[in-house]
């Protein structure tokens, strides 16, 4: 891959079918199979907890089984795509798992605040 010659990593992100119908990749298994087919060491999964939970992923199991193949993570709660604590994802448990597994990359907060932006950042205080 051209990117590998320049020390760059390419990320592939599956997107759920409810938010973006018709998107090419819709689940972790498809993305991981594509990565296997390509066989490039610098091709990584961009694991969006929101999209993959919407598609039925067991987030903890997927993280445990594939952490080495994940190049970036991002999150929003399910179902509303709002901040942690507004839906069904157990973020304290998942964030603890990510720490225990030794993930060293960035984790992006990609959500729409349920109310005012400042209020939507209150969840961060638990992790400071």
Residues with catalytic annotation?
A: 13, 110
Is the distance from CB of 60 to CB of 85 less than 8 angstroms? no
Strand order, beta sheet including 10-12: 10-12, 43-48, 70-75, 107-109
| Among 2, 3, 30, residue whose Cα is nearest residue 14 | 30
Provide the CA 121 distance to its chain's centre, in angstroms. Answer: 19
CB 83 within 8 A of CB 120: yes
């Amino acid at each position: 891959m051209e990117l590998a010659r320049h020390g760059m990593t390419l990320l592939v992100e599956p997107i759920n079918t409810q938010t973006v119908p018709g998107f090419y990749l819709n689940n972790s298994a498809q993305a991981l199979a594509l990565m296997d087919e390509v066989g490039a060491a610098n091709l990584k999964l961009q694991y969006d907890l929101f999209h993959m939970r919407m598609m039925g992923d067991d987030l903890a199991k997927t993280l445990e089984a594939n952490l080495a193949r994940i190049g970036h993570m991002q999150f929003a709660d399910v179902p509303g795509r709002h901040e942690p604590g507004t839906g069904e994802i157990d973020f304290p448990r998942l964030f603890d798992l990510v720490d225990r597994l030794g993930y060293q990359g960035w984790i992006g907060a990609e959500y729409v605040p349920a109310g005012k932006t400042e209020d939507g950042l209150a969840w961060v205080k638990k992790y400071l």
